[in-house]
A and B are shown apart, each in its own frame.
Chain A
Amino acid sequence: MASPKILSRFSGLTGLRLAGIVVLLAGALAFPVLFPNPVLTNYGVFALIFVAVASAWNFFSGFSGYISLGNAVFFGSGAYALGIAARDWHVTGIGVFALLPLSAAVGALIAVPFGLIALRVRRHTFIVITIAVFFIFQLMAYNFSFTGGTTGLDAPFLPWAAQTYNNPFYYIALGCAVGAIVLSWLIRRSRFGLQLRAIRDDEDRARGLGVRAMRVKLSAFVLSGAVTGLVGGVWFFYLTQVQPPSGFDPLFDLSVVLMAFLGGLGTVSGPVLGALIIEPGQLYLTANTNGYISEILLGSLFLVAVLLMPRGIIPTGGEYIRRLTTRGRAAIPAAVPASQRAPASPGLRSDEGATREGDAGEGEGEAGGARRQAGKAL
């Protein structure tokens, strides 16, 4: 039986929302049964893989505001770690799935030094460092002998029937996706998540209120690296091979960023929606048009999303619905009742109504009337 503490954690979900989640989960579980065609289940596997990595990217970058373009480092490293381990330890058959925690561990371990270096800087400098680290890893994969160089690595053969080969991967990817979403939701609701969002708004201010910014950012980065590494391992087994340009693919991070931006940066459901729209769309276009068309459309979609819906589908849609439902009613609570206001202090002139609260601009401050005040009061 679920403990009251666990139930209270889920109490933030309204009945309607909970019912929606149950329906979506049931639909996701039934998908391979309802649509057994391998082409469709292939779409499902990739969509769920990207739901997981987009959520993992978002609970670091979306919550903290540190936009990483280097999460492919974790993804590729997770894939390579499994390939190397399976090859060197002679692991075959379905036993290879027991190695998956290794991918998560490698992702987390790489995130520690990566984060300790990159998280010392902010904004565009941080982005540039993540790109630099990404290219270092890609070059290492190309040039080290233990990574297989340009030919990469092959995964152990899995003796499964071709018609249903995708299905176990579909459910493993679904498990990863659900796990990443739940983790993202728990972080969003926790004190840790609140500190990440405070860092996004004003990191220095957050530090001045006791937030240990480096520790918080690094923890989120390591968690993000672990989940992305784990999913990289699943992806490797599914594709049965990894090469430097596929494991460390610059389009990986661009796609993930677009998914989060399109759905709603910093929200739990935004990256999920973005991944479910973009990944199947990209696969369809790649399969049915010249390859470059999908990349042109991906770039165009990014422009449209940023220009027309800078906050993404979920926040913009939510705002639209709120406007419809609160039409004619005050969106902000009424002003504080007079009974709650402080009486005028002795010795200070009350000038109620002379200026509206908040009318004075921020420019007054130090630049305001020190000399004027001094001349008057001294």
Chain B
Amino acid sequence: MSVLLRTEGVHKSYGGVRALDTCTIEVGEGTVAGLIGPNGSGKTTLFNVITGYAKADAGQVYLADRRITNIAPDKVFALGIGRTFQLTRIFPSLTVMENMLVASQHSRSGARKRAMEQLEFVGIAGYHASLAGTLSYGQRKLLELAYVLVADPTIVLLDEPAGGVNLSLVNQIAARIRELNAAGKTFLIVEHNMEFVMGLCHQVTVLDSGTVVATGPPDIVRTDRRVLDAYLGEDIEEAEEDSGEADDGASQ
């Protein structure tokens, strides 16, 4: 399996806050990779650096063997990296179909056909003539996924695709990702919903304070002590001991 997306020692600071520190990750071609970590661990910053929305202070980003560090978002997209945002960013005054056509790189008639196919794929084709601003939050998530897919990117970066949506829609999104991945599409997903991540991803990378603390298959990562520390913010055994002592005290 070849590496499709790679970051090498990426640093990014905002004023005195170090958002990314020697951050190195790899995403294999044709895989679904997860990127998890507590709030403020640098996940979205890493997405921003990869997609050109933020400039890396140091380090490199590669798509296959091509260096794409600090190039503009439109060029990143043209090279085959599509992304969604944590809080959906659609074009509310355009119709759903027009939203799709903004991202489409096809000819006029071909673009509409492909856009409609993608809308059908995510299940919102019935809204193609509605203003995107009238869609519910969940439908906006689907629209954002659809218009990223319409340009057929090589790799799709999804920032919290399951955030703020109900379980049936989470299932729907997961099913779509599985279908696309089965067809060869590569994904890198930031998500807090652990069921979603562990059930979907082949490889999971854990960030804490801008640094990678663990990488591996979901089953290995979920039991990694550093991961538990990063998420719960304290030594688990100490916490358990404290809890045990408290229980003992209570029983006495």
Report the contact-size class of chain B (Cβ under 8 Å from the partner). 35 or more
Q: Which residues of chain B are within 8 angstroms of A378 by Cβ–Cβ distance?
A: 194, 222, 227-228, 231
A342 within 8 A of B: yes
Contact partners of B78 in chain A: CB under 8 A: 210
Q: Which residue in chain A gives the minimum CB-CB distance to B76?
A: A208
Complex: how many Å from CA A207 to CA B103?
Answer: 10
Residue among B101, B105, B192 making CB contact with A370, cutoff 8 Å: B192
Q: Which residues of A contact B136 (CB under 8 A)?
A: 357-359
Residues of A within 8 Å of B91, CB to CB, are 197-198, 201-202, 205-206
* Segment touching B, from A90-98, A142-150, A360-368: A360-368
Say yes or no: is B17 at the interface (Cβ < 8 Å to chain A). Answer: no
Contact A362 B87 (CB under 8 A): yes
Stretch at the interface among B2-10, B24-32, B61-69, B121-129: B121-129
Residues of B near A377 (CB, < 8 A) are: 193-195, 198, 222
- Chain A binding surface SS class: loop
Closest A residue to B147 by CB, please name it.
A209
Contact of B166 among A212, A334, A359, A363 (CB under 8 A): A359
- Residue in A closest to B163 when the chains form the complex, CB atoms: A365
A357 partner, pick from B39, B98, B169, B194, beta carbons under 8 A: B169
Bound form: Cα–Cα A210–B148 in Å? 10
Contact with A along B98-123 (1 / 0, CB 8 A): 10011101001000000000001001
Does any Cβ of A come within 8 Å of B18's Cβ? no
**B192 close to A357 (CB less than 8 A):** no
Q: Are A194 and B137 in contact (CB under 8 A)?
A: no
A327 within 8 A of B: no
Instruction: Give the chain B neighbours of A204 by CB distance below 8 A.
Output: 53, 73, 89
| Chain B min CB distance to A44 (Å) | 34
Is the C-beta of A28 less than 8 angstroms from some C-beta in chain B? no
CB distance from A131 to the nearest CB of B (A): 26
User: A15 contacts the other chain (Cβ, under 8 Å)?
Assistant: no
Task: Check A369/B192 contact, CB under 8 A, given A200-B93, A377-B198.
Answer: yes
Which of A208, A344, A357, A363 is close to B51, meaning CB atoms less than 8 Å apart? Answer: A208
B87, B120, B139, B167, most chain A CB atoms within 10 A: B167
Residues B227 and A366 in contact, CB atoms below 8 Å apart: no
B154-178 with Cβ < 8 A to chain A:
160, 163-172, 174-176, 178
CA distance A127 to B53 in the complex (A): 25
CB distance from B13 to the nearest CB of A (A): 19
- Find A201's partner among B73, B94, B192 (CB 8 Å cutoff): B94
Contact A201 B92 (CB under 8 A): yes
Q: Is the CB of A197 within 8 A of B38?
A: no
Q: Is B83 touching A208 in the complex (CB atoms < 8 A)?
A: yes
Report the minimum CB–CB distance from B72 to chain A (whole Å).
Answer: 7
- Report the nearest A residue to B128, measured CB to CB: A333
Q: Does B151 contact A (CB under 8 A)?
A: yes
* CB contact under 8 A between A207 and B74, given known A362-B137, A377-B195: yes
- Report yes or no: B192 in contact with A348, Cβ–Cβ below 8 A: no
A159 interface residue, CB < 8 Å from B? no
Q: Which residues of B contact A373 (CB under 8 A)?
A: 192-194
Min CB distance, B1 to chain A, in Å?
23
Say yes or no: A344-B171 contact (C-beta < 8 A), given A377-B194, A378-B222: yes
Q: Name the contact of A333 in the complex, choosing from B73, B88, B127, B160 (C-beta under 8 A).
A: B127
A368-B163 contact in complex given A333-B126, A361-B137, C-beta closer than 8 Å: yes
A-B contacts, 16 listed (Cβ < 8 Å)? A195-B102, A205-B85, A205-B89, A205-B91, A206-B91, A209-B151, A332-B127, A333-B126, A341-B172, A354-B166, A359-B137, A365-B164, A368-B164, A371-B232, A374-B38, A378-B222
Known A-B contacts: A340-B125, A374-B194. Give 11 more (CB < 8 A): A202-B91, A210-B78, A211-B74, A332-B127, A341-B123, A342-B176, A345-B178, A360-B137, A365-B87, A366-B86, A368-B163
Interface residues of B (CB under 8 A from A): 38-39, 44, 51-53, 72-74, 76-78, 82-83, 85-94, 98, 101-103, 105, 108, 120, 123-127, 129-130, 134-139, 147-148, 151, 160, 163-172, 174-176, 178, 192-196, 198-199, 222, 227-228, 231-233
For the complex of A and B, the 9 pairs showing the least CB-CB separation, nearest first, are A358-B136, A377-B194, A374-B231, A351-B167, A364-B164, A201-B91, A209-B103, A342-B175, A342-B172
Which residues of A does B touch, CB under 8 Å?
Answer: 191, 194-195, 197-198, 200-202, 204-213, 332-336, 340-352, 354-371, 373-378
